[in-house]
């Protein structure tokens, strides 16, 4: 499955609504524009499977000010603000590691370790 953003804390894996929203967009986007071309029903089933499989990180009011501080201090423009919001969620919940197929989408910063699956030691 092309789902690529997981959070880790104390050996536990988490997801959040931001990640599910991004997954929905890619899954339901047509194949001709770099999507999976899935139906809403297929995507909903996949979302439910992910929600059943991983611990959920709640959205909290503290996430927005953390995100705003990060986008301002790192001078983030355009769609990169979405991924920086994921890092704001991580920092708000004291999550230190993210596993992603797209490490370059994220900003290097203290307190966040960005890991590509190919770099996991067996």
Asked, for residue 1, whether it belongs to a domain, the answer is no
Helix (H, G, I), strand (E, B) or coil at 44: helix
Asked, for residue 30, whether it belongs to a domain, the answer is yes
Task: Give pTM, 2 decimals.
Answer: 0.82
State how many domains the chain has.
1
CATH of the domain at 74: 3.40.50.1010
Asked, for residue 29, whether it belongs to a domain, the answer is yes
- Find the domain containing 27 and state its range: 6-119
Q: What does the pLDDT read at residue 1? A: 41
Asked, for residue 54, whether it belongs to a domain, the answer is yes
Q: What does the pLDDT read at residue 68? A: 98
Q: What does the pLDDT read at residue 40? A: 98
Name residues of the chain where pLDDT drops below 50: 1-4
Q: What does the pLDDT read at residue 2? A: 44
Q: What does the pLDDT read at residue 9? A: 61
CA 117 to chain centre: 14
């Amino acid at each position: 499955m092309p789902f690529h953003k997981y959070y880790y804390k104390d050996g536990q894996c988490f997801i959040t609504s931001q990640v599910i929203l991004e997954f929905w967009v890619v899954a339901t986007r047509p194949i001709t524009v770099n999507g999976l071309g899935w139906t809403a029903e297929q995507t909903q089933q996949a979302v439910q499977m992910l929600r059943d499989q991983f611990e959920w990180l709640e959205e909290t009011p503290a996430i927005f000010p953390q995100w705003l501080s990060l986008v301002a201090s790192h001078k983030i423009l355009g769609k990169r603000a979405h991924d920086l919001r994921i890092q704001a969620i991580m920092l708000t919940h004291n999550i230190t590691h993210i596993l992603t197929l797209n490490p370059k989408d994220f900003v290097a910063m203290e307190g966040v370790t960005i890991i590509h699956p190919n770099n996991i030691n067996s």
